[in-house]
A and B are shown apart, each in its own frame.
Chain A
Amino acid sequence: MLSGLSGPPNVALRDDELQRITERLGREPTLVELHAFDAQWSEHCSYKSSRHHLKRLPTSGAGVVLGPGEDAGALRLGTHAGDAYAIVVAHESHNHPSQIVPFEGAATGVGGIVRDVLCMGAEVIAVADALRFGRADDPTTQARNIANGVVDGVGAYGNAIGVPNLTGNVYFEEGFEANCLVNVVALGVVKESELIHSFAPKGAEDWAIVLVGKATDPSGFGGASFSSLTLDPDETAGNKGAVQVPDPFLKNVLMRASYRVFALLRERKITAAFKDLGAGGLMGCSAEITAQGGYGAAINLDSVNVAIAGMPPEVIAVGETQERLLWVLPPDVAPEVVRVYNEEFTLPEIAYNARATIVGRVTSERRYVLRYCGNVVMDVESEFLTGAIRDDLPYTEVIRHAGSHEELPAVDVETLLPRVLAHRGVASREPLYRRYDAVVRGRTVLPRGAAGAGVLAPIPGSPIGVALAVAGNPRYGRIDPRYAAEHAVVEAMRQIVAVGARPIGLTDCLNFGNPRNPEQYGEFVAAVEGLARAATQLDLPFVSGNVSLYNESASGTAVPASAIVSCIGAIDDVSNVVTPGLKEAGSVLLWIGSRELAVGGSVLAELLGLQGTLPSISYAGERAAVGILRDAIALGVLRSCRAIGAGGMLTALVRLAFDAMARRRAIGAEIDFGNPLCEAGGFICEVSDDSGIDLTGALRIGQTIAGSELVVNGVRFAIPHLFEIWSSPLAELFP
């Protein structure tokens, strides 16, 4: 049955890499070693063609508790009852698996990101997702089926483990038909003093290596190198074996058992190491957790709990079976931890042969050694296996797309506003996100859909809040990768500011094409420059991230450049959170931000068949806008607010009116403005009084009125009718 798995080695390593391995070992690698290097040196694990570019990103700052380098980063949130708390954050993609088997691919994406946060010693408090599909309204594509499967997969996993889906976004654009994007973010909360690292600590010689979780099976064998190849539809069936199988039920129990172990270790004041098994499976995880502490490891593959007897050693070593984690523990504590998982939390009764098992020990020799059936099947230098390898690939400089200055025709708001609201980039996402549990654990302040950012009160008994937003507009990515990346940072930050939170840090997931295609690689390099510029200008550090390359169709077309950014915000007291919807008639409506009439990449441009220039980004302007909002909140005059995004200022205002309607407040607005459908960024704000606000960076455009009516430049709209137009399109596609 398993013979197919151990046939001729099917690895993605290149000839020059194979040669380097043979030279260093002084012999031919064993089959296990071959698969180990294949996984460990894949782009997915090694970041060999991206790491040196990522160094441009700012990663430090006063608020950084832990920067990039471990399974997740951490940012300072605030102090409660004398304890400093950190928000742990990780951000990843699961694109290729989701294209092949959407439900399982997306579910395991959530499962993986949750483990990245869990293994830092944190309680997992939220997930978010950024999804990119082809046009779902095009019946000739699979986009609708893939979107359905992905959304159900994200939901099924998060719902079952009891982690709310706090925020996210979805785009349906040309270019994602053959390669969808499924990016997931997870947040955790932990006392700074109780953070657990993912490397063996000082003095860990001879400590026990404990594997915890699902029985290892042949699923996910070759997953790391599969993610580092281009998808070919003809090989879909063959690739399915590389996709892992999710088990959120087991994960639910594993999480709770791990929380119990955290408490046990804290009581004993023991510093241990904990790490998620992801790419490269048991081998990748145990090699990295020991090598990063300056150690080697000796693992006995016979000790691994397996689902099927007789699996070849390379499958046990590098297979990517889900729902597994690895501890490095003092030998006297290990049996107690094993008891918590196996007896108190009854892992073997939860899933077939699931358990915690001591599988090896930490060694001081700095060699990574695997034994199986009494034989040494792998014996290599730890550093050589896990150390930085680098591919300096050639790339083409991406020229900034200047666009053409087209005279904007007089915009007929009466016909265009309904068309903008019904556009696939603007229409309500509720038919999709209502399949996600947004409120489990009872800590949600702003659930998904209530605002551009989600907000939680993560520490029971404390008013401290955390906000999360994700951004990344593929319509800009298609035009200018560098601009799109900058804009993603700015847009995510604006969403955080709009709910009254203070931005404290960023994560990114960079989804690009083939690094061996100089033009596609050039888009990636340009995007990193854009991220670096925006983050530096806004003084926001990146604390974790992920790179996903080879996102292209079999014919060689890359997905639109997709730097997807999440921004984390801190809130001292959630009573100051800006709640959704217009509040009162007679309020002043302010537009804060740029007033340029640039339509490039906008929904309006598509509807009018224009090219146009991209709206410029002014960091001085951004800082000023943030200052104005902060002042308005401090003065207590801000009643509601929304960041301007797809569909422009008018769409943002209409959304505020919809949110009021949902709370049974019949409040409309009357405004006068030249082109309210331009997507030049900023904020629309409802304030009770603007006398205390510095109006140099803000413009008074109208006021709220009693009744469910919107009056734009004299044109009248019934808000319930607009709501119908906005909420129907996706409800029809995704009933």
Chain B
Amino acid sequence: MVEPARRAFSVSARIAVPVFPGTNSEDETVRLLRDCGGNADLVHWSHGDRLAEYDAYVLSGGFAYEDRIRAGAIAAHDRIMDFVIDGAASGKLVFGICNGAQILLEAGLVPGTGPRRRPTAAFAKNGPQPHFVCRHVQLKLAIAPSRCAITAGLPPGALVPAWAAHAEGRLAATPQHLDEIVVGDHLAFLYAHADGTVDDAAVPNGSALHCAGLVNREGNVLAIMPHPERDGWNFNHLDRADGDDVLAPSGGAVLFRSFVHAVALRTP
């Protein structure tokens, strides 16, 4: 068991992973948060009221409300998001992965350049082919690490291994809103090759600006499409070295560690 790591932080900060109807990545998300020292709980949609008690939120992957209308569109109006939107406004950290990221865009929290629940950008149907795509990718940090509290623990230009697994991950917005994203330094992560180069071939879904993740203006809400938690332990890596502890968190866990650390720093 990798449980001991859980107590590495002696903070009382509590992280909630809300479960919407249709969420499917909640277990591994909570497990990796815990293995990275976080004090994380699943919070089921029937117990949404408990969310107010938490210090940070991680919205995990899945198909909340069946991706009806557009991925994240219904969930953005769920009561769960009242707590998340209020929490983000009060400075709590919010981290969305895949469907969680789609929900954050639909809720208007990232890039956050318009009113709440009036999205200015979306993770739209993949292009040029509209299929679901499951592909190993590298997330390249494209902002100064301290620009976003959640990435503050990463080195500049860090590469984070992850799996893209989605049918709607192509950043789409009007030219004006895309400009705002660039000018406002919202472009947190790009898709990159393993050597760090960024080009169209590294992008699995036709995303504008090679975008894999966005941050809000205040730097406390981060939305990324690929899943670091699916390449989050040594046993997940296809090129692990002999002698590595297969159960130890690694790879994509670097971003989870940075998040857990930031939550601890921020919580009084």
Query: Known contacts A434-B133, A435-B131, A664-B194: does B238 contact A344 (CB below 8 Å)?
Result: no
Residues of chain B within 8 A of A446, CB atoms compared: 238
On whether the beta carbons of B31 and A343 are closer than 8 Å, the reply is no
* Least CB separation from A252: chain B residue: B22
- Judge whether A633 is part of the interface by a CB distance below 8 angstroms: no
- Judge whether A108 is part of the interface by a CB distance below 8 angstroms: no
Of B116-124, B172-180, B228-236, the one with at least 4 CB within 8 A of chain A: B228-236
Give the CA-CA distance A273 to B261 in the complex, in Å. Answer: 46
Query: Known contacts A343-B46, A346-B45, A574-B235: does B247 contact A440 (CB below 8 Å)?
Result: no
- Using an 8 Å CB-CB cutoff, how does the interface string of A149-192 with B read, 1 for contact, 0 for none? 00010011001111000000000000000000000000000000
On whether the beta carbons of A442 and B244 are closer than 8 Å, the reply is no
Query: Known contacts A346-B21, A440-B61, A444-B230: does B238 contact A450 (CB below 8 Å)?
Result: yes
- Using an 8 Å CB-CB cutoff, how does the interface string of B9-45 with A read, 1 for contact, 0 for none? 0000000000101111101100110000000000011
Chain B residues touching A, range? 35 or more
Which listed residue (A81, A350, A434, A735) contacts B21, Cβ 8 A? Answer: A350
Query: Known contacts A162-B62, A439-B165, A579-B239: does B1 contact A461 (CB below 8 Å)?
Result: yes
Residues of chain B within 8 A of A156, CB atoms compared: 132
CB distance from A166 to the nearest CB of B (A): 12
- Judge whether A460 is part of the interface by a CB distance below 8 angstroms: yes
Most buried by A among B32, B134, B244: B134
Give the CA-CA distance A152 to B131 in the complex, in Å. Answer: 8
- Judge whether B7 is part of the interface by a CB distance below 8 angstroms: no
Residues of chain B within 8 A of A350, CB atoms compared: 21
Residues of chain B within 8 A of A441, CB atoms compared: 24-25, 27-28
On whether the beta carbons of A252 and B24 are closer than 8 Å, the reply is yes
On whether the beta carbons of B134 and A439 are closer than 8 Å, the reply is yes
- Judge whether A575 is part of the interface by a CB distance below 8 angstroms: yes
- Judge whether B57 is part of the interface by a CB distance below 8 angstroms: no
Query: Known contacts A159-B132, A160-B63, A344-B44: does B236 contact A442 (CB below 8 Å)?
Result: yes
On whether the beta carbons of A249 and B21 are closer than 8 Å, the reply is yes
- Judge whether A419 is part of the interface by a CB distance below 8 angstroms: no
Residues of chain B within 8 A of A440, CB atoms compared: 24-25, 61, 165, 230
Give the CA-CA distance A446 to B239 in the complex, in Å. Answer: 11
Give the CA-CA distance A38 to B25 in the complex, in Å. Answer: 42
Residues of chain A within 8 A of B195, CB atoms compared: 664
Give the CA-CA distance A632 to B66 in the complex, in Å. Answer: 48
Query: Known contacts A249-B66, A350-B21: does B46 contact A435 (CB below 8 Å)?
Result: no
CB distance from B179 to the nearest CB of A (A): 31
- Judge whether A476 is part of the interface by a CB distance below 8 angstroms: no
On whether the beta carbons of A442 and B46 are closer than 8 Å, the reply is no
CB distance from B162 to the nearest CB of A (A): 10
| A window 232-262: CB within 8 A of B | 248-249, 252-253, 256
The number of residues on chain A lying at the interface, defined by a beta carbon within 8 Å of a beta carbon of chain B, is: 47
Residues of chain B within 8 A of A463, CB atoms compared: 235, 246-247
Interface residues of A, dominant DSSP: loop
On whether the beta carbons of B24 and A438 are closer than 8 Å, the reply is no
Residues of chain A within 8 A of B230, CB atoms compared: 439-440, 442, 444
* Least CB separation from B133: chain A residue: A434
Residues of chain A within 8 A of B46, CB atoms compared: 343-346
* Least CB separation from B61: chain A residue: A440
- Judge whether B2 is part of the interface by a CB distance below 8 angstroms: yes
- Judge whether B3 is part of the interface by a CB distance below 8 angstroms: yes
* Least CB separation from B193: chain A residue: A664
Residues of chain B within 8 A of A152, CB atoms compared: 131-132
Give the CA-CA distance A428 to B1 in the complex, in Å. Answer: 38
- Judge whether A436 is part of the interface by a CB distance below 8 angstroms: yes
Give the CA-CA distance A385 to B245 in the complex, in Å. Answer: 55
| B window 49-63: CB within 8 A of A | 61-63
Give the CA-CA distance A256 to B66 in the complex, in Å. Answer: 15
Residues of chain B within 8 A of A160, CB atoms compared: 22, 24, 63, 66
On whether the beta carbons of A442 and B24 are closer than 8 Å, the reply is no
Which listed residue (B45, B194, B232) contacts A442, Cβ 8 A? Answer: B232
- Judge whether A116 is part of the interface by a CB distance below 8 angstroms: no
On whether the beta carbons of A162 and B25 are closer than 8 Å, the reply is yes
Residues of chain B within 8 A of A433, CB atoms compared: 134
- Judge whether A663 is part of the interface by a CB distance below 8 angstroms: yes
Residues of chain B within 8 A of A606, CB atoms compared: none
CB distance from B97 to the nearest CB of A (A): 11
* Least CB separation from B19: chain A residue: A256
Query: Known contacts A252-B24, A445-B235, A573-B246: does B163 contact A439 (CB below 8 Å)?
Result: yes
Residues of A within 8 A of B (CB): 81, 152, 155-156, 159-162, 248-249, 252-253, 256, 343-346, 349-350, 433-446, 450, 457, 460-463, 573-575, 579-580, 663-664, 735
- A sample of 15 inter-chain contacts (CB < 8 A) reads A159-B63, A252-B22, A434-B135, A436-B132, A439-B134, A439-B230, A440-B24, A441-B27, A441-B28, A442-B229, A443-B28, A460-B31, A461-B1, A461-B3, A461-B247
Residues of B within 8 A of A (CB): 1-3, 19, 21-25, 27-28, 31-32, 44-46, 61-63, 65-66, 129, 131-135, 163, 165, 167, 194-195, 227, 229-233, 235-236, 238-240, 242, 244, 246-247
* Besides the known contacts A439-B134, A439-B163, A450-B238, 11 further A-B residue pairs in the complex with CB atoms under 8 A apart: A152-B131, A155-B132, A159-B167, A160-B22, A252-B21, A442-B31, A442-B227, A442-B232, A463-B247, A573-B246, A575-B246
A-B pairs with the 9 shortest C-beta distances?
A162-B24, A442-B28, A249-B66, A439-B230, A461-B1, A575-B246, A439-B163, A437-B165, A160-B63
